[in-house]
Structure 1
Amino acid sequence: MQVVGSFIATIGWLGLALIASELLSTLIYDLGQWVGYRLIGARVVALVGFRYQLCKVDGHWKFQRPLTAYPHLVAMPPVDPKRFNHALYCFGGGLFNLLVIVLSLVTMMQFTWDFNLWLFIFIIWVWANTLKVGQLLPMNFHGRPTAAQEFRAARESTAAMTAAYVTATATALKMQTGSVADLDAAMIVMPRNGGNQNYLVVRQAFLILEWGLQHGLSTPDLLAGLSRLEPSFNLVPPADLARYMTATLYWNLFSEHPAPQIIGWYQDLGVQQLLKRYEPLANFKLQAVYEWQINHQSKRALELIDAGLKFAQRSNASEELVWLKALRVRVEA
């Protein structure tokens, strides 16, 4: 019985060490990101954690509770694109974790270690920081590219590097305002020779559609633009794919173009899992428009819209609030 109790205590300490190592390595990663952003003149506008975030809105830090999140910092790139050092932007956090690993190993060499609990705790500490260096936890788990993947994609062409800067600016702006409507119109220009094989360029193409939609882009032009993104669906990260797929399905259903391919995509189990995992907020309006247009269940659609409005307000997602309210007007008409 004493052996069992000792084993359980050991497992408990190792579990505690795992949790503490993950939290501390995340803080170190965030600190490295902050230093990297400061060196290139970027301004941190949001501190995001697990299911919470602190965001700078109208000059004040506000606590928000998004439906899904992963630990990272969001920064507004410098106004001058020439100061945008993409390497520091991507690798600042990982470099700090790498430094911690080196210092930890150097410290380890100064002592004689027995095969005991402390050795396992030290191994867990180094392992957690190693995962942070490669951004294997939790980036890939959340369907987003690692820093190395993003850096490599941006280095493929001038168009890709431009797209990296523009989309980073749009991400920071959307975090602060809930939409990209205030993005400088000078950035809404598709770079030449971008192609459709680079996910950063595809991301900028979708951003242009998103910006245009908020500035009066007609529905036929929007649907035509979304259809041009479809050949790139198998090239983009899962989180990006969820955004593009949600927009494609929603606007086709909203504009009463329920083509068999659109219905087939929506009913596909894999697609549904993808959307629920990576776009849980936007999924409210997608489910609502499907219930309204295809199942002719207006009451159920309104229930989904009300739930979406609740979570959109909680997350400061002003863009989602606009589309949900517009959908409710259509359903109630």
Structure 2
Amino acid sequence: MANTDSIFELRGVTKYFEDTCALSDINLNIRNGEFLTLLGPSGCGKTTILRLLSGFETPSSGDVLLNGQVMNDVPPEKRKVNTVFQNYALFPHMTVRDNVAFGLKMAGVDKGDIAQRVREALAMAHMDHLADRRPGQLSGGQQQRVAIARAVVNNPLVLLLDEPFSALDFKLRKAMQLEIKQLQRKLGITFVFVTHDQEEAFAMSDRVVVMNEGQIVQIGSPKEIYEEPASLYVARFVGDINILDATILSSSGNGMYDAEVEGVPMALHSKRAFPENRDVKVLLRPEDLRVHRVAEGMLDEPHLLGRIAQTVYKGATVDLHVQLDDAHGGISLMASEFFNEDDEEIIYDAGERVAVTWVDGWEVVLDAEDH
């Protein structure tokens, strides 16, 4: 379990590659024992942070600290940090056993100690039965296990993982996500993981760092990132989202606002403070929406009217795509409801008239200018 003690810290770090700014004024504390994921699209700077932590890059300005000591000019081999790269970087002419033992041999560890530690690392990675094979005789998932065993056998303070699942198929990727998280809990060391896959980040992480264009845009638990996005960028990046235009009319206190949402007077909840007549965006996840048949009678609560554009069956859930009336902006919304074969309430025909509401208080309200 992670604690609040910082093991790695970036203080005001900026990194340029010639005239290109890869990172701009990054401040980040990485807690001892946590599983931290750097999440963002290609080119956002997440791998550059990993390379700064590992020592393969130095900051243009600012400091990288490990256990309170500035590490800017300390080479990778002098840091208690190991990296698992995307391509695993295994030596093809060596056996699995020799690959795992390589770092210990270079460090001058006693042969008997090497043998024991290699056995333990391979058993941990479930690769002890393939110790005499070479990397070319292994599957992608097996190579990944060897790369991780080679990294952890050195007892690092921090293990850095640079999109290590990118070469794996979907089923193996899911299995390895679970294995890596269980391994991190067993070892109790800090893992810093890089990915562009938000589902992967949420499944594995204690905290997620969302990045865009060389900057950190939000840090929080997976639940916080998903349910309380700090900007429209974060909301769009970490899952499906419905965005409605609204205007704050007045505040009734305690985070309650009277507003007009797509032309309909409604009450909104928000932890943020907004002045009167402020244009805002109302963010709703598909699972937050509720779809009602108009034929059942008009609802007492405020609602938006539209028609079913498409129903997408996904097994456990059904996605309902609703085209709102022009009076409500004419936009398309997506609602997601759990499917029950005996429940006809969520079986709709294309073109069917519906009313849309949402679970009270589950909306996120952002300033319209907060991109």
TM-score normalized with structure 1 length: 0.31
- Point out the structure with the larger strand share: 2
TM-score normalized with structure 2 length: 0.29
- Point out the structure with the larger helix share: 1
